[in-house]
Structure formats: C-alpha cells, structure tokens
Amino acid sequence: MYVIIVKGLFMNNIYIDVLITVNIFIDYFLLMLTKKIIGSNIKYFRVIIGSIVGGLFSLTALLPVLPFGLNILTDLAVAMLIIFITFGKCKIKTYIKRVLIFFALSFSFGGLMIFIYLAFKPKGMGIYNDVIYFDISPVLLIILTLVCYYILLLIKKLTKSVYKSDIHNIEIKINDKCYIFNAKLDTGCNVKEPFSGKSVIVAEKEVFNDFVPDKTKVRLIPFTSLGGSGILQGFCADNIIIDGKEADNSVYIGICENIFKDDIKAIIPSELINN
C-alpha cells in the first residue's frame, strides 16, 4: 500500500510498510545506543516495543507540513512516550535525562541524514515532518543504519562521555540464579567487609529482585557516603563475572536501599577492575 504526498513542488510515492519498517529499524539502533550511554540493563524486548511505537509514529510523515516549532514539540512528545515505554517508570530527573539523550541522538541522526540527502541526493530518500523515508532494499537500509550507528558511537567516544569506560557488566550467580546488572566504577569506594578486609560491590536491593540472603551467612558492613552512613547486608556469591571474566568469588556483595539516584544501581571498587 502506498500514498502520494505533495511537498512543495515535489510529488512522491510513499509505501507505508516501508516507512514504518525503516523507522522501526532506526529507532531500534537509537534506543540501543541510548541504553548503552545511560548504562541501563533493560531487556531487549522493551527496546523492540519502543522501536515499534516509534515506527508507528513515523506515519506523521503523511500529515501536512508542520510549522517550525510545532514539529520540534511533536518530536519531543514522541521521544518522551518512546522512552517511557522502553525504560519504564523512574524518578523525574532520570526520566528527563533519558529523554534528552534519546532526543539528542535522534536529532544528530536526523542531521546526518539531512547532510546525506543534500550532499548526494540519493534516489528514493525523503524527509517529511522530520521523518526519514528510504525506498531502498533492506540490505542497503541495514548498511546505512549501521554506518550511522557507529558514527554516533564514534562521536560519543570522541567527546569523552562520562560513561565511556566507567560502566562494567556484572554477573552474579547465587543458588542457581543469575543476576546481571551494570555497575559504575567508583575510585573513591573504600567499603570493606570489616573482618576479612575484602572488597564490596554495592548494589541496590531491586537489582536482586526477590532474592533474600541467608541470615546465617549475612555480614553487616558499615559504610559512609556523601548521602550519609549506614549498614549494608553483605554476602558472598557462588560466582562473580566482571566484564566476561571470572572474578574472586570471595568478594562481598553489599545490598543497600535507595542510595543511588541514577540509572546505575550499583558501584564497583577500582581494585576489582585493575586486578
């Protein structure tokens, strides 16, 4: 199915299935890049749902040309909805940051596409109401989107984002259950198990879902932070994997509540990364 749309002096055929598919694919990579930047550990099916919603909103390309200003507000509203669907509920400050990151990435991607469109005039490409349309083969679409994805990734690295190298993937195995989450490197973390002097990975209780540590094996670990001081419930895991490499399983895991205010819900001391 296609429709004929008129933009100024130009008339084009737009295939609705291609329009939606193209933008689902683009939104998927933008959401994956957003996920990487904020260090979120959401499941991939939520990214897929968010990208599908973004693809459906690409139908705004069929509307009359939106006046300048209104198009930006529309794009922002769509970004807010996509981020909420993809990443779920969170504190308002965290939500605003997520939206702004996704919106900035989308804006950067759109800028790259406009440059390609103006510089090379590729056949079958169009931009309508800030929605990108490619009447091209799926293979070429994948190649172009991957190119833009890695360009944006390169920009992120060149700007030395704060998230560049201080986010680490942690895999904890306890009683045949596996918990995977991201932890932020904290060079100032000096929390130790008081008797053994072992390092402690500090994580929010929500990271471990319904896990309840065995009270007979729990160690109470005091901590002090900028937000105050308190006691962590510490325990040893059966197995700890940091960035794909097995770590010393005698390292303690300290469970806290409502300490971290960002997307990252855990911190890891630098000695565990440098070893």
Per-residue pLDDT reduced to its tens digit, 219-251: 888 877 645 577 888 888 888 888 778 887 778
| 110: its two tokens | 């759109």
Per-residue pLDDT reduced to its tens digit, 12-71: 567 777 778 888 888 888 998 888 888 776 778 899 899 999 989 888 777 777 777 777
Distances (CA, A) of 184 to 5, 64, 165, 181, 188: 49, 46, 9, 10, 11
Supply the pLDDT for residue 51: 92
DSSP run (H or E) holding 256: strand 252-256
* Residues sharing a CB contact under 8 Å with residue 78, sequence separation 6 or more, in sequence order: 54, 57
Please, what is the angle between helix 16-38 and helix 70-87, to 10°?
A: 60
Closest CA to 55 of 31, 19, 107: 19
Q: What is the pTM of this model?
A: 0.58
Confidence of residue 274 (pLDDT cuts 50, 70, 90): low
* Residues sharing a CB contact under 8 Å with residue 101, sequence separation 6 or more, in sequence order: 34, 37, 38
Supply the pLDDT for residue 2: 35
* Residues sharing a CB contact under 8 Å with residue 141, sequence separation 6 or more, in sequence order: 22, 25, 134
Closest CA to 270 of 202, 189, 193: 189
Per-residue pLDDT reduced to its tens digit, 159-215: 544 444 577 888 888 888 888 888 888 777 778 888 888 889 888 888 887 777 777
Tokens 């139908």: give the residue: 59
